[in-house]
Structure 1
Amino acid sequence: MERRQRKRRSPLWAKIMVVFGAILMVAGGGAFVAGKVAQDKVNEAVGQDDLLGEGARSEHEVDLHGPLNYLLVGSDQRVNSTKPGLADTIIVLHIPEGMDRAFLVSIPRDTWLEIDCNGNVYYSKINASYTCGGTDRGASFKSLSEAVHGLTGLTFDGGAIVDFEGFANVVGVIGTVELCLEKTITSIHTGKTFEKGCARYGKDDALDIVRQRYQYADGDYARQRMQQQFIKNLLREAIAQGYVTDVTKVGDLLAAVGQSLTVDTNGIDPVDLAYALRGISPESMTMVRVPSDVGTVGDQSVINLIEPDAQGLWDAIAADEMDAWAPANPEYINTGKAPK
């Protein structure tokens, strides 16, 4: 599909999706594109690839009036690494018709399902499907997208992946981000202790915090809440520091993402897509937990879907009925606080 040409007059205000760190995280980080030269810089800075598997890609032409579904993945793989990575964060981003709000649905990385890994079919955790591509990020994403499609039945209008360096570097540009911890934790990666309550953290500590899960009673669900909180707060900070209005700052943001971010916009110019998403704010984002609970397979802990609740969620996304589904299912809406 050929990319659509932009014919708007400059200056143009575009929203750049900041697929952030330790979750993906993705959020509209706002920015600014003035004219053709700036547009080219955006398109050159953000890596583009054919990420979605054949079954996972939407067959219809992308409509920038919505609804839209995107698959967002955060990987622990470092740039130019010779080792395969894992998908630490898997998010289905649903944007309803109207393009002024968003639902971020976190799929637990330990979700148990059947995986087709290059013709070898077996049961495993969903994040293992990412390793089927080896060190090729595009191939890894394709494999994961097919696994997500098999689990949910959903197809996607595009996708994005950010790896380890991107997780930290976006925060590095912003400076610090506020995170509110449910409890005092000690990192299993660095041994550093982080106190319960709200504080501002730099890029290394923020990345460390959002990667933790073993210290919480509900494990990966707590990490999902922290990752989703991170997305909102990072976007708020970007707005507060003028990344929505100051065209001179976009270069710093793009340089921070660099090789770490790869997108598949399904033939749509990334700047056009960003502009179409300009109405989404932190307050218009709803964070969703997939209906699921913890189980075991042998000696390993896994996540199993709760049916028919999970199927109801997938159906609501496919039919663009999340505005009705969310208030009818409050137990699956993440508020940023631990469930009682």
Structure 2
Amino acid sequence: MLFIAAGAAGFALHRLTERYDRALTKQELLDPAARRDESGSWLRQHVSGSLNYLLVGTDRRPKDPGGGLADTILIAHVPAGLKRAYLVSVPRDLLAEIPPDGPAGYPGGTDKINSAFLYGGGGAAGARLLSATLTGLTGLRFDGAAIINFGGFRKVIDLLGGVTICVDTEVRSIHTGAVFPVGCHQMGGAQALDYARQRYGLPGGDHDRERHQQQILKAIMQKAGTGGLLANPVRADQLIRALGSAMIVDTNRVPPANVASALWSLRADALVGLQVPTTGSVVDEIYSEQLDPAADSLFAALRGTDTESWVTANPRWVNRI
């Protein structure tokens, strides 16, 4: 009976990932300089090395997940064995060297890193320039990328029946006037997105907003993993369609179904939120951030095999999610 049940679950998962593959919009989001060359040995890579994905979040144009500005930049780092994942938030005000982009007519220069997405033209082209900028900054190459429309996740959260978010500092929305008091709350899609958009009046400003977005992603993963999706094909199909409409992906020539199947067992409580170490300053009334010396060791850890040691040694840059 155990083998029959396992076979049935495996068949259901295979069908689920096939539908996920068909629902996704696929485009080239990575610049050649930012793309890992080992896509053909992807399964071997995640056993002996690590996986790095670029996640670009945009909070505009719900019907166009690739348009507008890069509101959120995340590096998802998955060490070998796929038992843990690190969500590394890159501050959008971080100054970086943005390389030239001939097709977009951008000559290159130093600017806030989220400008790379805009200077590249937004969408897939913007993601390519942003990925090249990040590779120049961190030395990392990526196994894939996604543009995520956070507004599109409102429907995803509602289909999951809401998510639980624990608020540790009171948040007041400048958009709706809603107040999110300290404590754990069940939030629907509209509430969760309203909470994740706020940064004014918080101790950490935009860094708190980044942390809240990490919370939302973890909560979605937590609810999806405990919601019995495999036993409810209708709801699973609705959720997959909603996810597909909110994302554009580049899996570096690896079938998306293979990636989804490999990462399926990753648990939400194995997610760790990190912040790129930076310091902020105001020059000519313009706020920007610069890399803190600890950033070099973080980037080295992400390129290597022992990110956990860096986390233990640098608790200041670990987010509570």
TM-score range, shorter chain: 0.7 to 0.9
158, 163, 185: which one aligns with 1:177: 163
SS in 2 for 1:32: helix
Aligned equivalent of 1:87, options 49, 70, 77: 70
CA shift in 2, pair 1:33/1:239, >3 Å: same
Please give the root-mean-square deviation of Cα atoms over the aligned residues, in Å.
Answer: 2.4
Cα distance in 2 for residues equivalent to 1:195 and 1:323: 32
2:84 pairs with 1:101: yes
Query: For residue 324 of structure 1, what is the aligned residue in structure 2?
Result: 309
- 2:112 corresponds in structure 1 to 125
Bigger shift: residues 243-252 or 103-112: 243-252
The change in CA–CA distance for 1:163 and 1:301 in structure 2 (over 3 A counts) is: same
Cα distance, 1:328 vs structure 2: 2.1
**Could you tell me which of 123, 131, 154 is aligned with 1:145?**
131
Q: Secondary structure at the match of 2:249?
A: strand
Q: In the alignment, which of 18, 21, 28 is matched to residue 43 of structure 1?
A: 21
Aligned residues: 307
Residue ranges of structure 2 left out of the alignment (5+ in a row): 1-5
Structure 1: how far apart are the matches of 2:134 and 2:73?
9
Runs of 4+ in structure 1 deviating by more than 6 angstroms, as ranges, are: none
Deviations 1:196-251 (A, max 9, x none): 32211111111011011112121111112211222222222222221255444321
Could you tell me how far apart the structure 2 residues matched to 1:131 and 1:255 are? 27
Which position in structure 1 is the counterpart of 2:56?
73
Bigger mean CA deviation after superposition, 317-326 or 83-92: 83-92
Alpha-carbon distance in 1 for matches of 2:36, 2:65: 32
Unmatched segments (≥5 aa) in structure 1? 1-8, 15-30
Distance 1:176 1:120, change over 3 A: same
The Cα offsets for residues 307-334 of structure 1, whole Å up to 9 and x where unpaired, read as 1x11111111111221322212222221
Deviates more, 1:107-116 or 1:163-172: 163-172
| C-alpha distance in 1 between matches for 2:27 and 2:9 | 25
Question: What is the Cα deviation at residue 80 of structure 1?
Answer: 5.0
Q: Which residue of 1 aligns with 2:142?
A: 156
For 1:199, the equivalent position in structure 2 comes to 185
* Aligned partners of 1:11 and 1:33 also within 8 Å: no
Match of 1:33 among 7, 14, 22: 14
Q: Answer yes or no: is 1:281 the counterpart of 2:234.
A: no
Matched with 2:244 is 258
Identity within the alignment, %: 36
Residue aligning to 1:3: none
Structure 1 residue matching 2:214: 3-state secondary structure: helix
TM-score (norm 2): 0.88
SS at match of 1:124: strand
Q: Is the 8 A contact 2:58 2:147 kept in 1?
A: yes
The AA in structure 2 aligned to 1:33 is: H
Contact 1:53 / 1:145 at 8 angstroms: preserved in 2? yes
Cα–Cα, structure 1 residues 332 and 13, in superposed 2: closer, same or farther, change >3 Å?
A: farther
| One-letter amino acid matched to 2:92 | R
State whether residues 20 and 241 of structure 2, in contact with CA within 8 Å, keep that contact through their aligned partners in structure 1: no
Given that 2:14 and 2:261 are in contact with CA atoms closer than 8 Å, whether structure 1 keeps it comes out as no
Matches within 5 A, 1:234-245: 234-243=220-229, 245=231
Which structure is higher in helix share?
A: 2
Q: Does 1:111 align with 2:101?
A: no
Partner in structure 1 of residue 3 of structure 2: none
Inter-CA distance 334–56: structure 2 relative to 1 (3 Å threshold): same
Amino acid at match of 1:54: P
Q: Is 2:49 the partner of 1:63? A: no
Deviations 1:115-164 (A, max 9, x none): 235242232211111112335x1111111111111211111011111114
Q: Contact between 1:316 and 1:322, CA under 8 Å: does it hold in 2?
A: yes
Q: Supply the distance in 2 between the matched residues of 1:232 and 1:40 (Cα, whole angstroms).
A: 23
Distance 1:83 1:277, change over 3 A: closer
Map 1:266-277 to 2 at 5 A: 266-277=252-263
1:107 to partner: Cα distance: 0.8
One-letter code of the match for 1:306?
Answer: D
The 3 A distance-change label for structure 1 pair 81 and 70 is closer
Q: Which residue of 1 aligns with 2:320?
A: 335
- When residues 233 and 318 of structure 1 are mapped into structure 2, their CA distance, relative to the original with a 3 A threshold, is same
Q: TM-score, normalised by structure 1?
A: 0.83
- Alpha-carbon distance between aligned partners in 2 of 1:48 and 1:82, rounded to the nearest angstrom: 12
